Amino acid sequence: KKKTVRVVSDLQNDRGRSMAVQILDKQQRQVAFKKLPVQNGRQELTIALPKALLWDEFNPALYTAKVQLLNTNAKPVHEISAVFGMREMGNQNSLLWVNGRRLFLRGTLECAIFPLTGHPPMDKKGWQKVFGAAKAYGLNHLRFHSWCPPKAAFEVADSMGFYLQVELPFWSLNAGKDEKTNRFLEEEAMRISSEYGNHPSFCLWSMGNELQGDFNWLTGLMKKVRQSDPRHLYTTTTFTFQKDHGRWPEPDDDFYI
């Protein structure tokens, strides 16, 4: 709503270096620029984009944040970039919204069934085929059933305007019961958010499929992940058959399946 971008860095600086941040549009034209001295440790920078185009299925507008670490002669010594889109998911009045407008999801499952290779595509060409087929049937949404797709899937979904639901690799009747499993899932959830959270197509986040077990632990995990990255809508589980659950959203869910 504020049309701003938040850039977070975490660096050590003992050489008087500075940082240059460029925001580029889809045609790689510069729409914003800031240069500032690098501080030790975590540093946050807010950049205004008053004319930013918003991302959705009808206009999948994308931007690139390009960050350069400069030496004392203002020459770049390191560079990193991230593609992102400006969009806001909402659930006002128990209805799904994107950028203040009603959202109607028309979707299907993606169950990682690729018998010719034994694994999902790892390149854009493979995902252009998947999303192209879905789009030909009038769909705008894919749910990844108990798994998270690779980078190429997010990149293609970003460019084609698809709304994705990502899930932990978790389909269990004993959620929260095993400490080693719990630790892996907590770490994996944080890795998924950190690695793919900038992608505007990453819209919906579920802790797993038809989960049963300790709902206190499940809810705690969901809230922890949401607190670290509030850019998505979250649900504790994609449905459940557990008694006294599954007929209504869990109290802290953003959406319900």
pTM of the prediction?
0.95
pLDDT tops 70 at residue 200: yes
Cα dihedral 130, 232, 204, 106 sign: negative
Contact by Cβ (8 Å): 144, 192: no
Radius of gyration of the chain (CA): 20
pLDDT digits (tens, 9 = 90+) for 92-137: 998 999 999 999 999 999 999 999 999 999 999 999 999 999 999 9
pLDDT digits (tens, 9 = 90+) for 205-247: 999 999 999 999 999 999 999 999 999 999 999 999 999 999 9
Tell which wins on pLDDT, 41 or 236.
Answer: 236
Residues 6+ apart with CB under 8 A from 113: none
**What's the Cα-to-Cα distance from 243 to each of 48, 211, 218, 239, 240, rounded to whole Å?**
49, 12, 16, 12, 9
Spatial separation of the C-alpha atoms in residues 87 and 85, rounded to whole Å: 6
pLDDT-derived band of residue 14, with 50, 70 and 90 as boundaries? low
Contact by Cβ (8 Å): 76, 69: yes
